[in-house]
Chain A
Amino acid sequence: MTSAIHVVGEVLATKRAGAYRHLTIAAPGIPERFRAGNFVAVSVGDDLLARRPLWIHRVKETGAYGPTLDVVVQPRGPGSTRLAELPVGARLPVTGPLGRPFALPREPVSCVLVGEGYAAAPLFPLAARLRERGCPVTLVLAADDEAHLLSALEARRSARSVSVVTRDGSVGARGDVTSQVDAVLERADADVVYAAGPTATLAAVAAAAERRGAWSQVALETPMACGTGLCQGCPVPVVAEDGVTRRVRACVDGPVIRGDRVHWGELG
C-alpha cells in the first residue's frame, strides 16, 4: 500500500466543464505517490465531518508548485457544492493518495476501459499507464448527456480507440452503456476490463467480462465517512476464494476490486 499523507492543500486553478468543476490542487507529497485508481479525501468544513472522496484525475507539473493534482467535482449535495464554489487560493485539507490502485497487466494485452460520468476520471491516467506498457486501449466514455461527459478529445491522447455513449444521444451513440458492453468487449477482443461509474454499470461490466472470460477490475464508490480505513463505515461484501462472503472496507481494501469478487446483490 502506498503511504498516504495529510496536508493542507491550495486550490491553484478552477475550470467549469459542462456540469463539472475541475480543480487543480497543490498538495505537496500526494501527486508524487499517486497511482491510477487512487483517490484523495478532502474536508469541506468543520461542520461537515465526513470526508469527501474524490478520484485523482490527473497529476501534472505546474511550474513553481511542482506536481499538482486535478479532480473533477459534480456539484449536488452540500459538500460537493462547496467544493465546486472554492475560489483560487482557497485552502483545502487533503489526505492521500488513498486506496488500492488499478492493477496493471504484465503483458501487453487488450484492455477495455468503461467510465461513466465524473467517475471516468481515474481511467484517464490508467489509459496512459497501459499505453506505456504497450497495451491496446479501448475507452468507452458514457454519460447521461454531453454536459456530464469528460473530454473525449483528451482521452484520445492515451487510448487507441475512444467511443462515446450518452443516454439522450446528445453526443455519440444513444443509449445505455451497459447494453453495449458485450459488443465492445467482443470487438476489442478484450483480455482485461476496467470500469468506473455507478454501481449498476460496474455490475453490468463485471458480468459482461465474466461472460467473455476476461479479467475485470471495478472502481467502487461506496459511501465513505473517513476514507482512511479508521471507521469501518464503507463495507463491501466480497466473495473470497473459499466461497465465504466477507465485508471488506472499500477505502483501504478497495476502492478498486476484482469484479468477480464483489457480491453485487448485497452491495447497498
Chain B
Amino acid sequence: MSPAVPWGRVMVASGCGGTGRELAPYADLEGLDFVTRSITLDPRAGGPSPRVAETPSGLVHAVGHQNPGLEHFLATELPWLVRAGARVHVSIVGGAIGEYAELARRLSRAPGVAGLEVNLGATDQAGEGLFEVREPYHAASVVAAVRREFPADRPVLAKLRPDLSRAVEGARAVHDAGASAVVLGDAVPAALPDGRPAGLSGPAITPVALRCVHEVVARLPEVAVVGGGGVDGPATARAFLAAGAVAVQVGAALLHDPTTVARIRADLEAQDPHDHSGRTDR
C-alpha cells in the first residue's frame, strides 16, 4: 500500500487553474487541493505570444511563468483561495536556491498555506533565468533548502519532469532531502512550431508519465508519488492511482473542459463514499 498523505486524491495542477476565481464557476473549491501557478519573488511578465499551440491530443505551451510576484500573491490571490475553502499548495520557482528558500520562509508565515510544491521541472530553466536542475542533487539541494524554512508538519511536494532515465534517481534524491511526495510529472520538454522552448501537456504524454509513476512506485515503495500528465477523466485518474500514485493532478484538461476536476472528484467519491473531501486520510 502506498504511503498515507494528508491531502486529497485529486489536485488542480500548477498553472491550469488560473487564480482560482476563474475555476470557481466550474468546480467547488471547498476542500479542493489547489496548486497555484508557480510564484516567483518578483513579478514576471511572461513570454511573448503566441504562448500555446495545439498538437494531436496535446498542448505545447510557453507561458514563461507570468505571475504577480510573492507580495501581490500574498495580498490578493492567497486570501481569496483560502476564503473559498481551497487547500492551497503554493508552487514556487526561483533563479537560485536562496530564492526558493526565501519564498518558503515567507510562505511559512502566511496564513492558509497548506503546503508547497517545488517546481523543479520547468522546461526552459536556462532561457527563463531559473535555477537549472540538471542533476538529481540539484533538485535535492533545492528541496533541502525549502524544507529547512518550512514547517515539518506541512507537506512539500517536489515536482519533476516525467523523464524515465531520471525519475527513480530524482525521486530518491528529493525524498531523502525531505520531500513529502514527488510529483511525476511536469510537462515534457518540447518546442513551439517556431522553435521556442516549451512544454508538452495533455493526453499525448499520459503513457510517458504513467511509466515513470510505475517505475518509481516499484523501485521506491516508501516514496509517495503524485501522478500527472493528461489526466482528463476518471479513467485516466484511476490508471495513475492503480499504478500506485497517492493522488493525481489535473492540468491541461481543465483548459479543454473546466469541469474536469469536479467530475473526477465526484466519481472517486462515489466509488469510495467515505472519501467526502477527496482526501485519503488513510
A43 an interface residue at 8 Å Cβ cutoff?
Answer: yes
Which stretch from A54-62, A184-192, A218-226 is at the chain B interface?
A218-226
Summed over the interface, the residue pairs from A and B with CB atoms below 8 Å come to a total of: 102
Cα–Cα, bound, A6→B22 (Å): 13
Residue of A3, A6, A51 with most partner-chain B CB within 10 A? A6
Interface contact A50-B25, CB-CB below 8 Å:
no
Contact with B along A5-26 (1 / 0, CB 8 A): 1100000000000000000000
Interface contact A247-B255, CB-CB below 8 Å:
no
Cα–Cα, bound, A252→B21 (Å): 11
CB distance from A140 to the nearest CB of B (A): 28
A93 an interface residue at 8 Å Cβ cutoff?
Answer: yes
| Known A-B contacts A6-B26, A46-B57; A232 and B255 likewise in contact (beta carbons under 8 Å) | no
CB distance from B61 to the nearest CB of A (A): 7
Mostly, the B contact residues are loop
Interface contact A49-B202, CB-CB below 8 Å:
yes
Interface size on A, residues (CB 8 A): 30
Interface contact B49-A231, CB-CB below 8 Å:
no
Cα–Cα, bound, A267→B49 (Å): 8
| Known A-B contacts A231-B63, A232-B51, A235-B49; A6 and B257 likewise in contact (beta carbons under 8 Å) | yes
Interfacial chain B residues near A225, Cβ < 8 Å: 51-52, 54, 59, 61, 255
| Known A-B contacts A231-B255, A232-B66; A5 and B25 likewise in contact (beta carbons under 8 Å) | yes
Interfacial chain A residues near B50, Cβ < 8 Å: 223, 233, 268
Interface contact A230-B48, CB-CB below 8 Å:
no
Interfacial chain A residues near B252, Cβ < 8 Å: 49
Contact with A along B100-129 (1 / 0, CB 8 A): 000000000000000000000000000000
Contacts A230-B17, A230-B23, A268-B50 known; list 6 others, CB within 8 Å: A6-B257, A49-B253, A225-B59, A228-B255, A233-B50, A235-B51
